[in-house]
Amino acid sequence: MSDDRTITPLPTGLWSQPTVDTSAVADALDGTETVQRVRQPASIRYDFVPGVATTRFLKGLANKQIFGERDPLTGDVYVPPRGVCPVSAQPTTEQVELSHKGSVSSFCVVHIGFGTNAPPTPFCSALILLDGAVISLYGPIQEIPYDQVRIGMRVEAVWADDADLSPSFESIKWWRPIDEPDVAAETLKGHM
Amino acid sequence: MAGGSAGSRDVAIVSVAQSTHERAKVATNEVELIQPVIQQALEQIGATIADIGFVCSGSTDYLAGQAFSFVMTLDAVGAWPPIAESHVEMDGAWALYEAWVKIQAGHADTALVFSYGKSSPGDLPNVLSRQLDPYYYQPLWPSSVGLAGIQARAMIDGGAITERRMAEIAYASRTAAANNPFAQLRSSAAVDDLLAEPYLSDPLRRHDCAPISDGGVAVVLATGDAAARWADRPAWIRGIDHRVDGHNFGARDLTVAPSAALAGQRAGVGDDKVDVAELHAPFTHQHQMLVDAFGLGDGTDVNPSGGALAANPMMAAGLLRLGEVAGRIMSGAADRGVAHATSGHLLQQNLVAVLEGA
Amino acid sequence: MAGQLAGVVGIGQTRHAAIRGDVSVAGLIREAVFRALDDAHMTMADIDAVVIGKAPDFFEGMMMPETYLADAIGAVGKPLLRVHTAGSVGGSTAIVATSHVEAGVAERVLTIAWEQQSCSEAMWALSFPIPFQQQLVAGAGGYFAPFIREYMRRSGAPEDIGILVALKDRLNALKNPYAHLHEPDITYDSVKESFMLWEPIRYSETCPSSDGAIAMVIAGEQAAEASAAASGNRPAWIRGTSMRSEPAMANGRDQVSPQAGKDCAADVYRQAGITDPRGQIDVVEMYVPFSWYEPMWLENLGFAPEGEGWRLTEQGVTQMDGDLPVNCSGGVLSTNPIGASGMLRFGEAAMQVRGTAGDHQIDGARTALGQAYGGAAQFFATWVVSADKP
């Protein structure tokens, strides 16, 4: 560094943030309260584009089908598919119809829900590894007391009534336990 | 200062790829848009992500209408095993600057830089009004075109430009873009016909404004051995600098862009002849302002790609300018070029790079 | 090639609160900026470049707000760079600023990280619904709670480790005048009895939503020495910096102890010459938005073997009088302006080795680690700072 500017030594406090005494302002404004909030509603409309892979996936849901997509290099099946394998960065072009059954890879019990689609609390929000897929998807677990859900538990999709099926995640109402033995939790590592 | 805008390590752009630019890419999302571009930038030099020391991207949530919108785009890189990576909420030209700094600091020898923008989900001039002072400007919802009109009016009134000259810039840009297969607008009506059109935002007519585009771009940076391995004729970054002006539009002379001039000076634009320049001017009058700021003369081919007036994917259009100049240097069509990128309204923030073939 | 030496010579933060209605966005940031400049005995005129970071712009309803802030932060006529790497952004921003000095492109860099979350509904700004994406319907805690549960399963940790962390951090915050939450009456039982939000995460084990900012001045060797001579406070020499990222979801990815975090730590230790983190690092500021992340990151950062991090918490090792104090400032659990939270970790680590941490100073701290993470526990930023010049 050839730049040898000296640093200006400053009197203590000169550049400190001053403590603002607003009483003088208030006096000047004849007791008017200082403005603390300006409320400014802003609305912008966006038309979202789901993309090719998500479109294929959502159309499947409307027909009670769950489509993952396979990475051509690794053979891994991702669901929900996002069009690109996150490991190889290659487009996933081969659709694979997946089982409606899976295993709970982890979960939490939600006592404070968000959004209009949240079930009544408390409910169990789970990561579910579908048979044949390499990563889990999210869904609520119902038809079992929330405190009996466990990692490794086997579950299946519960579909909306035919009249309510749509190209949306809401076509799967929730997931429920099935009468199959739990899988070892260790086998779910790396697939949350 | 040692280093400064020249840097102490020689760094070059060795690969450039871009998507076509369209008004609306309705089929693909951002990940699907940028993945083939990144892949091409790496494949055409025989590289994989494992050869890359640092990755940096540029994008903004407000275009996508989604918080953390860049997170999913990481899927298009293949960040597994994990990578050294960063993101700027700016045009990709600044992502390139961050990567260049990383390399200058010795943290990496190679970098992948990419950026993308889909303006089609929202109403762009409205969306851009959110990039303004939230107390005094935002509540008025000033459109980006309206603000630019104020600037153009100031330039015309100051004698810096005429409406005819603006139309000539539009005509030249879009006819040049006939040779650019990626551009969105690739032809133009005659200047007299353009001037017969009604005003969009007086004194701006439609032809004075950049199109609204969806698109993306990726480049690879390399130093030393990697540059020699990956390119016969790397586009060496001989100077790069960026500066910002104040935001209070009422308090500064809108007819000049001091930050552009300063960045250009520090990057060394005037040190030698300029064969080619790619200027990121979303409006015709800003094109003139930048030509003046950089002192570009008749010997310089300005915006042979058509520039932002032919395709303006937000967040990518600046990095595209670097890519376009690099492409001409790598092909041998030019020896020395200037690339410019801008951010914000009314050319508030500007980056300039000087690229050379030797 | 090694970059040039850089040191932290000025650190300033705001008083953090749920709502800082007494200042504008620019005013909030200037509060931190002027404190940092004052600490460094510099003015805005001394600054060569400004590097600023924050989390999603929807928090304040301002797109790329740094163009609006250019005047207020003294950036006009200078380089101004905006970083955004999700929750790790405060750390990443400090690292990008450091790179400017290491690269020799700037001698004195002002770096800022901020968030004024009260400007909008924070939970909405983080995750408003996108029509075709799967909805978590549970908020941020609902995203991380399953990974905590899996950690508890793997490690067999006692169920109250999270309570111990929350209690420690909130008590530490009482020694930090800038902290958002000051809860003098907090007890083990009050944490335990607090409302369960996302089982196993309780209300008192969760970070607040804060308004706040932090700024630092990072300088090259010569400028740092000059600043230290003027201020009387030694620089925090930056001995190593690293950023690592991995995909949100990928086959083989472990959200409990992400590989990106391990790689990031290994990279920073290599630069700083650290072979025994537990022995060589005196104090740690890590990003713990939910209490259980303390034992998880202790393992991820190599302070404890896998599955054993909770023992350090249980044994009191991470308390201020332990041999590896963690989050003496009160941490993210006490103060969380998201975009600033990472830089607060980095800045607090630097304060410790400069000896300027006040009531939460660890006597004799020479080497400190600052860590931040973000996204789906996929973006990591870490630095090691030291009182000792390499």
Paired residues of A177 in beta bridges: A155
Contact C23, C213 (CB under 8 A): no
The pLDDT of residue A56: 93
The ranges of chain A with pLDDT < 70 are 1-34, 36, 113-117
Q: What is the pLDDT of residues C222-254, one digit of tens each?
A: 999 999 999 999 999 999 999 999 999 999 999
User: Which residues make Cβ contacts (< 8 Å) with residue B331, sequence separation at least 6?
Assistant: B233
How far is C321 from chain A, CA to nearest CA, in Å?
32
CA distance A127 to chain B (A): 19
Measured between alpha carbons, how far is C260 from C91 in angstroms, rounded to an integer? Answer: 15
Neighbour tally for C261: CB within 10 Å: 26
In this complex, which of B83, B90, B246 lies closest to C71 when CB atoms are compared? B246
Cα B351 from Cα B343, distance rounded (Å): 9
Close Cβ partners of B342 (under 8 Å, ≥ 6 residues apart): B91, B260, B280, B281, B282, B286, B318, B348, B349, B350, B351
Q: Which residue has the tokens 């640092």?
A: B54
Taking the C-alpha atoms of residue B45 and residue B14, their distance in angstroms, rounded to an integer, is: 8
- Chain B residue with CA closest to A56: the answer is B27
Q: Cβ–Cβ of B71/C86 closer than 8 Å?
A: yes
Model pLDDT, residue B224: 87
Helix (H, G, I), strand (E, B) or coil at C331: helix
**CB neighbour class for B13 (10 Å; exposed up to 12, middle 13-18, buried from 19):** buried
CB C278 within 8 A of CB C309: no
CB atoms within 10 A of CB C309: 27
Each residue's pLDDT tens digit, C199-208: 999 999 999 9
Contact indicator for A113, C127 with CB cutoff of 8 Å: no
Residue of B71, B97, B221, B346 to mutate when probing chain C, most C C-beta within 10 A: B71
Contacts of A128 in chain C (CB under 8 A): none
- Asked if C130 and C261 touch (Cβ cutoff 8 Å), the reply is no
Q: Distance (Å, rounded) from C-alpha A80 to C-alpha A63?
A: 15
Rounded CA-CA distance C281/C323 in Å is 10
pLDDT given for residue B68 in this prediction:
87
From the number of C-beta atoms within 10 Å of its C-beta (0-12, 13-18, 19+), residue C311 rates as middle
| Sheet strands (E) in B26-109 | 54-58, 85-88
DSSP 8-state symbol, B21: -
Q: Is the model's pLDDT at C92 over the cut of 50?
A: yes
Q: Could you report the predicted ipTM of this complex, rounded to two decimals?
A: 0.97
Which chains have 3+ CB pairs within 8 A of C? A, B
Cβ of B36 within 8 Å of Cβ of A86? The answer is no
Q: What is the pLDDT of residue A30?
A: 67
Q: Which residues of B303-338 are buried (b: 16+ CB within 10 A; e: fewer)?
A: bbbbbbbbbbbbbbbbbbbbbbbbbbbbeeebbbbb
DSSP state of C216: E
Report the pLDDT averaged over residues C69-78: 97
Residue found by looking up tokens 């500017």 in the block:
A5
Torsions phi, psi of A134, nearest 5? -105, -15
Distance from CA of A66 to the nearest CA of B (A): 20
φ, ψ dihedrals at C287, nearest 5°: -85, 100
Rg (CA), chain A: 27
Residue in C64, C83, C126 closest to B86 by CB: C83
Name the pLDDT band for C128 (thresholds 50, 70, 90): low
Which tens digits make up the pLDDT trace of C287-304?
999 999 999 999 999 999
Q: Which residue of A has its CA nearest to C202?
A: A111
Q: Is A7 on the interface with B (CB under 8 A)?
A: no
CA distances from residue A3 to A7, B17, C48 in whole angstroms, order as listed:
11, 39, 11
Cβ atoms of C224 and C235 closer than 8 Å = yes
* Chain B residues touching C100 at Cβ < 8 A: 101, 105
Taking CA atoms, A184 is separated from A77, A150, A188, C323, in Å, by 21, 11, 7, 38
- Across chain C, mean pLDDT equals 95
Which chains share 3+ C-beta pairs under 8 angstroms with A?
A: B, C
**Which residue ranges of chain B lie beneath pLDDT 50?**
1-2
- Taking CA–CA distances from C227, the nearest residue in chain A reads A7
Residues of C with Cβ-Cβ distance to A182 under 8 angstroms: none
Cα C174 to its chain centre, rounded Å, is: 18
pLDDT digits (tens, 9 = 90+) for C16-38: 998 888 889 999 999 999 999 99
C71 contacts on B by Cβ (under 8 Å): 246-248
Cα–Cα distance for residue pair C57/C338, rounded to 1 Å: 11
